[in-house]
A = this chain, B = another copy of it.
């Protein structure tokens, strides 16, 4: 008897948590149904197939990430890098979760095209946000390399269960600006 939006949102939230731990194949319709308290047929009602669900998942993730980053105005290059890095540290230490797009990106060969397109857009968006701060005649590490380092450090930090790996990476990268 719940509103459509509420159930759909709850499904996406459950899917995101599972996907950020185990990837695209790491959650099933039944898993999500159990998480939300409905049956798997109801999940299919909201998301006809898994590819659609995952694409919506990444859209939602992108929107939230950009909101969390906020406006890049009145922000030095170093502050921008630190703000971005803080999001990665938060994912790791507060939520104990991977970056959704890093995990899906690593699996991209095995994902539906529309999902890959959304993930690709995520990276473009992150880099675009940084570049809008860096400006046209920027020197030092590019936005792409900054994002790459943070994503990779998150993978290593989580695998080794050592948050300091990511923190050190963030520190070293920011120090260059």
| Count of residues in A whose CB is under 8 Å from the partner chain | 42
Say yes or no: is A169 at the interface (Cβ < 8 Å to chain B). yes
| Cβ–Cβ < 8 Å partners of A160 in chain B | 120, 123-124
Task: Indicate if the CB atoms of B110 and A26 lie closer than 8 Å.
Answer: yes
Number of copies: 2
Are A105 and B172 CB-contacts (below 8 A) given A23-B110, A120-B160, A123-B160? no
Contact B145 A148 (CB under 8 A): no
Give the B-binding residues of A (Cβ under 8 A). 21-23, 25-26, 98, 101-103, 105-110, 116, 119-120, 123-124, 141-142, 144-145, 147-153, 155-156, 158-160, 165, 168-169, 172-173, 176
